[in-house]
Structure 1
Amino acid sequence: MRRIEFIRFLTFIFLAQVSLASWAQQALTWGQNRLVSPQVNQDNTVTFRLLAPEAQKVQVTGDFLPTRKTQTPNGAYDAPGVADMTKDAKGVWSFTSTALSPELYTYNIIVDGVQVTDPLNVYSIRDITSVFNVFMIDGGKDGLYQVSKVPHGTVSKVWYDSPTAGLLRRCTVYTPAGYETGAEKYPVLYLLHGIGGDENAWSELGRAAQIMDNLIAQGKAKPMIVVMTNGNISQEACPGETSEGFKVPSMMLPKTMDGHFEQAFPDIIKFVENTYRVEKDKGHRAIAGLSMGGFHSLFISINNPDTFDYVGLFSAAVDRGQQGGIQSIYEDRNRKIDRLFAKRPKLFWIGMGKTDFLYKSNKDLRDYLDSKGYKYTYLETEGGHVWRNWRIYLSEFVPQLFK
């Protein structure tokens, strides 16, 4: 048998085993002995199960496990931990976690070295190039991540023209409860995602709509419109929902951090202010973002010091600009920061995890702000460059806006 035919044969066998295992999972759910995974137990431990009698090794990996360091060409990163599952006499593999804190968690199953989604869990989210299952321990960040019985805002996928980018592009827009039936004008928060993400990231993994609904209902935040942009200026929208069809997602996109997104940002402000009932002045505009989005938020704000009174940097990649592009956007950073603070912004907010790989660059930024006596708010949390922190930062940042 030739090598290529042998590889195809092995691939066929593996896919057949996975298909058979998936059918077996479904068959168990139709019977009286329903197999459940994940199962959140009363003590907040979580049990994962998979029927795979022919598998040699099954593991679970996720952000509910202790992190492990993974070395890449760009440095060491915190990666989700891995735990071995055990097989019973019926071929069911299982693992029960320790008691978990309230939070939204992501995970995958690894079957004989191949990472797959849990066939018993219909809840999954794509993050960049990977698909993860999700589960929640209720009560995360004081219950802000849950769908509560409160008035709900509307989340829309909206297309707008960006003449600067030469594209019709999409953003996600949250309008607060009562927007459709009222006449009030609202302030706007422009909320930006990280590298490899898109306009769906904050509404899906970030739980932005739930956080906004709950904060507004509790009277902890002013009703506002939240515009979640696509920070990849070469894209029309998220992968699979553009004129390019089902293109394979990638982190390596052109023009992500080379000045073109910052240059085109006025296009979306113009669209929002021509389309929605919003206040159109600096005191009613905020911009914030995570990682790459924090990088964009910093440089958009300092290049446009009369545009935003509120700036939020969440684990911001403040010194990671690409070479080429429009370098004038990134030149003279400190001089531009001086110019921004001369305009007396109402809030300059920085959030950072203690083990984040971007900690030092943000410390250098804070050292400069301190040396000039500029007022800013800083929150340091446990952990690293993870969604768990970014949801916390959004929950802490929003109540301080538009006071």
Structure 2
Amino acid sequence: MKKNLLLSLLFLTFLGISSQAQEALFRAQQIISPEIHEDNTVTFRLLAPDAKSVQVTGDFLPTVKIDSPMGQVDGPGKADLTKNDKGVWEYKSQVLGPELYNYSFIIDGFTTTDPNNPFLIRDVASVTNIFIIGGGHADLYKTNDIPHGTVARRWYDSPGLGMDRRITIYTPPGYESSTEKYPVLYLLHGAGGDEEAWISLGRTAQIMDNLIAEGKAKPMIVVMPNANVIQDAAPGEGSLGYYKPQFMVPKTMDGTYEANFMDIIKFVESNYRVKADKANRAIAGLSMGGYHTMHISRYYPNTFDYVGLYSAAIMPREDATGKVYSDIDGTLKTQMENGYKLYWIAIGKTDFLYKANTEYREKLDGMGMKYEYIESEGGHTWRNWRVYLSDFAPKLFQ
């Protein structure tokens, strides 16, 4: 009798837990957010019956000027959601063009992610939701039904920095099953980024897979290092454990990274089947990574045949006194005289670094140093940098 009573109690308890779990599950499933409509408008929804106000903020909205560590830059606008009689807040966007977008909700002044959208990316210390409107260049950001490359997180020894360091490496489709040697693109992140930035925010693997499948880019290895020389890996991935990422950590732009960059090249060329010569090496980077690209490529002036500066910071700061920054004009002249296949500069018209890039191009013009220049709409954003990679990669190793 006692046994039957115990089983009955356990069964009733299970029913209660199951009922609650199913109620929570089905309640969540009743809300679709974001919902992308056939006309490429998007509806955002949030169940928050007790909230007094809900807004959505994201790069699909008109930009506004915001203060940042870099001064005033373009930032995402905001839009108000309206609440229905069921406590669900909604906002429907205008028709959106092809792009990978990010967004967050602001509930009574508190910024948070969309609980109905599990797809997230981290940019420095901010986490936002993402969605894709397909078509045009945004189709390169999708995972399509094509052959795929491999993304590996490796650890390499850096004698110059005195530590093992984590690095992200993309190998093209078929690498593992072939004996072929491949060219290499070294792709550098901006301030606040790390070895995760280009692969997550930049959609590097998807872009390269799609360009290679379409025959628009040569199969190549893409190496994405961490430029923060005081870290062995991205926050949460290395020996320093879990801590809040910072926009600018010490020693990122003092010449240490550039001076020890050959540690990375030596690791790649010792561990991967690569064509280890100037004609088969490219280097490119965004913002701070463009700064590193400019200085690495001239400091090692006979190493890279392809150089890409995306929204690049250019000249050293006053407190940067490393040997790397001595004789900039002389090393640029040596780089020019050694010859190269492509020196590529791209920047948005409203980028806060636009003036610095204009002045740098004037310097190159005065030297007679040839380059290709692309000027796009918009500012200092991943929206531009993904396009720059999509445009730059097909020009390599042709």
Which TM bucket (shorter chain)?
over 0.9
Displacement of 1:331 in angstroms is 2.4
Instruction: Report the counterpart of residue 307 of structure 1 in structure 2.
Output: 303
Decide whether the 8 Å contact of 2:99 with 2:138 is kept in 1. no
Q: Tell me how many residue pairs correspond in the alignment.
A: 379
- 399 and 196 in structure 1: CA distance in 2 versus 1, 3 angstrom threshold: same
1:36 partnered with 2:32: yes
For 2:374, the equivalent position in structure 1 comes to: 379
Please name the residue that 2:205 is paired with.
209
Aligned partner letter, 1:318 = I
Is 1:257 the equivalent of 2:263?
no
What is aligned with 2:87? 91
When residues 47 and 263 of structure 1 are mapped into structure 2, their CA distance, relative to the original with a 3 A threshold, is same
User: 2:329 is matched with which residue?
Assistant: 334
350, 355, 376: which one pairs with 2:345?
350
Query: Residue type of the partner of 1:101?
Result: G
Q: Which ranges in structure 2 are unaligned for 5 or more consecutive residues?
A: 1-19
One-letter amino acid of the counterpart of residue 43, structure 1: D
Q: Counterparts of 1:309 and 1:261 in 2: how far apart (Å)?
A: 20
Contact 1:25/1:119 (<8 A) preserved: no
SS of 2:161's partner is coil
Identity of aligned residues (%): 58
Question: Is the 8 Å Cα contact of residues 29 and 35 (structure 1) preserved in structure 2?
Answer: no
Residues 139 and 145, structure 1, Cα contact 8 Å, conserved in 2: no
Of residues 263, 268, 271 in structure 1, which corresponds to 2:267?
Answer: 271
Contact 1:28 1:34 in 2 (8 A): no
Tell me the CA shift for residue 140 of structure 1.
4.7
Cα deviation code 1:192-237 (max 9, x no counterpart): 0000001111111101011111111111111100000111111111
CA contact (8 A) 2:102 2:129 kept: yes
Q: 1:32 to 1:239 in 2, by over 3 A?
A: closer
For 1:167 and 1:138, locate their aligned partners in 2 and report how far apart those are by CA, in whole Å. Answer: 42
Cα contact 1:257–1:322 (8 A) shared by 2:
no
In the superposition, relative to structure 1, how do residues 31 and 332 fare at CA in structure 2: closer, same or farther (>3 Å)?
same
**Residue from 147, 150, 154 that aligns with 2:150:** 154
Aligned to 2:364: 369
Q: 1:112-157, CA deviations, whole angstroms, 9 ceiling, x for partnerless residues?
A: 1110010110000111010010011112516211111111100000
Q: Quote the residue 2:319 is aligned against.
A: 323
Q: What TM-score results when the alignment is normalised by the length of structure 2?
A: 0.92
The 3 A distance-change label for structure 1 pair 307 and 365 is: same
Give the Cα separation in 1 of the matches to 2:285 and 2:330: 22
Residue 254 of structure 1, CA deviation: 1.0
Distance 1:26 1:106, change over 3 A: farther
Native 8 Å contact 2:44 2:90 kept in 1: yes
> Corresponding residue for 2:16?
none
TM-score by length of 1: 0.91
Distance 2:353 2:23 in 1: 47
Choose from 233, 257, 267 the match for 1:237: 233
* Of 45, 52, 66, the match for 1:49: 45
Letter in structure 1 aligned against 2:97: S
Structure 1 residue corresponding to 2:355, chosen from 360, 368, 377 = 360
Cα distance in 2 for residues equivalent to 1:73 and 1:211 = 30
Cα separation, partners in 2 of 1:171 and 1:67, compared to 1, 3 Å = same
Higher Cα Rg, which structure: 2
Deviation at 1:27, TM superposition (A): 4.8
1:400 corresponds, among 370, 395, 398, to 395
Amino acid at match of 1:37: S
Q: Distance in 2 between matches of 1:283 and 1:32?
A: 54
Misfit runs of 4+, over 4 Å? 24-29
2: CA distance between counterparts of 1:35 and 1:322? 53
1:380 & 1:323 partners in 2: Cα distance?
A: 30
Give the match's secondary structure for 1:133.
strand
